[in-house]
C-alpha cells in the first residue's frame, strides 16, 4: 500500500482524484490544501471518515510546514494540483497566482527534492512528482491544428504565465536535480463540484435562477471539454505508468464554441426543468475577457497510444450528468453560493486547524 500526497485536493479536480483514489485503489491519500475560496471539504464528505484519507490544512508556500509534511507522511508520490485556477481572477488580481502557482510550486519542489534525496535507492527509483498543468500554457490556436507536447509555450494570461512558469520549474528540477517528475497539460474540465465562477456551472446555476447567461464577446471562442472523472483516470495512469521526465497532454477531442456549450446546457434544462420561455432567452452578450484566447484543442494521442487512456464520457453524457448533479445537489450549491461552506469547514475541521 502506498501513500500519495495530493495538493489542492479540496478543489474541483483534486477532490475528483481523491474520491477515485479512495474508491478504486488501496492507496492512502494526504490532502494538502490551504482552503482558499475554491477549496471545499464538503466535496470530500464521502471519503472524510475513511482511514486511508487524511486532511492537512497547509499553504504550499509555507516552507517549514511543507517540509514537515514529507517527514510526517513519507509519501511515495506527489500529485500537485494546488493552484489559483481562474483566468478572470488572474486579470483582476495576479499576485495570488504568482504566489501559489510559482512560489508554491518552487517550495513544494524543494521540499520534495530534499525528502527524495534521503530515501533508500529502491524508494528513490519509484518516487514520482506529478505536476498537473493546463493546455493554456501553449497560448491560442487559429482555426486549425492541435496542441502537442512539442508545441512552444506562449502563455497569454497571468494565470497561464504562472502555470507555464511552474511547468518550467518542474522541468528544471528533473534535468538539474534528477527529481523524477511527470507533467500533464489538460484541457477544460467540467463535471460535479465545479466552483460556479467557471462557465459551465455558472450557466447552469444562473439559468436555474432566471439570471442572465453571460457570454464574453461573440461566444465563438473554442474550448476542448473533458469530463473531470476522465481527467482523474488519466492522471492516475500517468502517475502509475508515465515515463519519468515526460509530458502528457490530456484532452477530450471535444471542441465546442462557448455559445454551443451554453445552448447545450439550455436544451438539457428545457427538457429536465421546463419553463414558459426557453432558457436560451437568458443569453446576454457582455464585454470580452482581455487577451481572451481564441481556441484550445489538445492532441491526446500520446497518452492514448502510450498508456491506453481514452475518455469514457462523451460531451452529451457528461454534460447531462453534470446538469443533473447540480439539480440534485442543492445543499452543496447553496452552501457554495452563500459562502456557508466556510462556516461548515470551521465547525467540522477547526480541530484540524482549518478556518
Ligand atoms: P480549483 O481552483 O477548483 O482548486 C484549487 C485548489 O487548490 C483549492 O482547493 C484551493 O484551496 C487549493 N489551493 C490554492 N492555493 C493554495 C495554496 N497556496 N496552498 C494549498 N492549497 C491551495 O482548481 P481546479 O480546477 O481543481 O484545478 C486543479 C489544477 O488543475 C490546477 O493546477 C489547474 O491549473 C489545473 N487544471 C485545471 C483545469 C480545469 O479545467 N479546471 C484544466 C487543466 C488543468
Ligand atoms: O484550458 C484549461 C483551463 O480551463 C484551466 O487551466 C483553467 O483552470 C480553467 O479555469 C479553464 O479556463 P477557461 O478560462 O477556459 O475557463 P472558464 O470556465 O473561465 O471559461 C471558459 C470559456 O467561457 C472562456 O472562453 C471564457 C468564456 N466565459 C467564461 C465565463 C466565466 C464566458 O463567455 N462567460 C463567462 O461568464
Q: Is residue 343 scored above 80 in pLDDT? A: no
Torsion of CA 46, 48, 50, 53, to 10 degrees: 120
CB atoms within 10 A of CB 287: 8
CA distance readout (Å), 324 to 81, 84, 297, 320? 26, 27, 27, 6
Give all strands (DSSP E) within 85-212, no chain letters: 128-134, 181-186, 188-190
Q: Determine the residue of 10, 37, 38 to mutate for testing ligand 1's pocket, defined as the one with the most ligand atoms within 8 A of the Cβ atom.
A: 38
CB atoms within 10 A of CB 107: 20
CB atoms within 10 A of CB 289: 14
| pLDDT value, residue 345 | 60
CA distance readout (Å), 198 to 43, 67, 75, 282, 313? 17, 33, 32, 17, 20
pLDDT in tens, 290-315: 999 999 999 999 999 999 999 999 99
Q: Is residue 346 scored above 80 in pLDDT? A: no
| pLDDT value, residue 339 | 79
Give all strands (DSSP E) within 110-212, no chain letters: 128-134, 181-186, 188-190
Rounded Cα–Cα distance for residues 334 and 215 (Å)? 24
| pLDDT value, residue 348 | 64
pLDDT in tens, 51-97: 999 999 999 999 999 999 999 999 999 999 999 999 999 999 999 99
Q: Is residue 48 scored above 80 in pLDDT? A: yes
Q: Which of 250, 254, 256 is nearest to 222 (CA)?
A: 256
| pLDDT value, residue 338 | 83
CB 30 within 8 A of CB 54: yes
CA 141, distance to chain mean position in Å, is 22
Does the CB atom of residue 79 touch ligand 1 within 6 A? no
Mean pLDDT, range 247-275, rounded to an integer: 97
Rounded Cα–Cα distance for residues 128 and 324 (Å)? 36
In this structure, which ligand is nearest to the CA of 98? 1
CA-163 nearest atom, ligand 2: 6
Angle between helices 315-328 and 258-272 (to 10 degrees): 50
With a CB cutoff of 8 Å and minimum separation 6, the contacts of 339 are none
Query: Domain 3-190+225-253+292-313+339-349: which topology?
Result: Rossmann fold (3.40.50)
Does the CB atom of residue 164 touch ligand 1 within 6 A? no
Residues in contact with ligand 2 (CB, 6 Å cut-off): 85-87, 134-136, 187-188, 198-199, 202, 214-216, 221, 223, 258, 289, 296
Cα 274 to averaged position of ligand 2 atoms, centre (Å): 27
Amino acid at each position: 500500500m502506498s501513500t500519495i500526497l495530493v495538493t489542492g485536493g479540496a478543489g474541483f479536480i483534486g477532490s475528483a482524484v481523491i474520491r477515485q483514489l479512495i474508491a478504486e485503489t488501496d492507496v492512502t491519500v494526504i490532502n494538502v490544501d490551504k482552503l482558499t475560496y475554491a477549496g471545499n471539504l464538503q466535496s470530500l464528505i464521502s471519503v472524510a471518515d475513511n482511514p486511508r484519507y487524511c486532511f492537512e490544512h497547509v499553504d504550499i508556500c509555507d516552507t517549514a510546514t511543507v517540509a514537515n509534511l514529507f517527514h510526517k507522511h513519507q509519501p511515495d508520490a506527489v500529485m500537485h494540483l494546488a493552484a489559483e485556477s481562474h483566468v478572470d481572477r488572474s486579470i483582476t488580481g495576479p499576485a495570488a497566482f504568482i504566489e501559489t502557482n510559482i512560489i508554491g510550486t518552487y517550495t513544494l519542489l524543494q521540499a520534495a527534492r530534499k525528502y527524495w534525496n534521503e530515501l533508500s535507492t529502491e524508494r528513490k527509483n519509484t518516487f514520482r512528482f506529478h505536476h498537473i498543468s493546463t493546455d493554456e500554457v501553449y497560448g491560442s490556436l487559429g482555426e486549425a491544428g492541435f496542441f502537442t507536447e512539442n508545441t512552444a509555450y506562449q502563455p497569454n494570461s497571468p494565470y497561464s504565465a504562472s502555470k507555464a512558469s511552474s511547468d518550467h520549474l518542474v522541468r528544471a528540477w528533473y534535468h538539474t536535480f534528477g527529481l523524477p517528475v511527470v507533467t500533464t497539460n489538460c484541457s477544460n474540465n467540467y463535471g460535479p463540484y465545479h466552483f460556479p465562477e467557471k462557465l459551465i456551472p455558472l450557466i447552469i446555476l444562473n439559468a436555474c435562477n432566471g439570471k442572465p447567461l453571460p457570454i464574453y464577446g461573440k461566444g465563438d471562442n473554442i474550448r476542448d471539454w473533458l469530463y473531470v472523472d476522465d481527467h482523474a483516470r488519466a492522471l492516475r495512469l500517468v502517475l502509475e505508468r508515465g515515463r519519468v521526465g515526460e509530458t502528457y497532454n490530456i484532452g477530450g477531442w471535444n471542441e465546442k464554441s462557448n455559445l454551443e456549450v451554453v445552448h447545450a446546457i439550455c436544451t438539457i434544462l428545457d427538457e429536465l426543468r421546463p419553463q414558459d420561455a426557453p432558457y436560451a432567452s437568458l443569453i446576454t452578450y457582455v464585454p470580452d475577457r482581455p487577451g481572451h484566447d481564441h481556441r484550445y484543442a489538445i492532441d491526446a494521442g500520446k497518452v492514448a497510444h502510450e498508456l491506453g487512456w481514452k475518455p469514457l464520457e462523451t460531451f452529451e453524457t457528461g454534460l447531462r450528468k453534470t446538469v443533473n448533479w447540480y439539480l440534485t445537489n442543492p445543499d452543496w450549491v447553496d452552501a457554495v453560493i452563500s459562502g456557508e461552506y466556510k462556516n461548515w469547514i470551521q465547525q467540522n475541521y477547526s480541530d484540524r486547524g482549518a478556518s
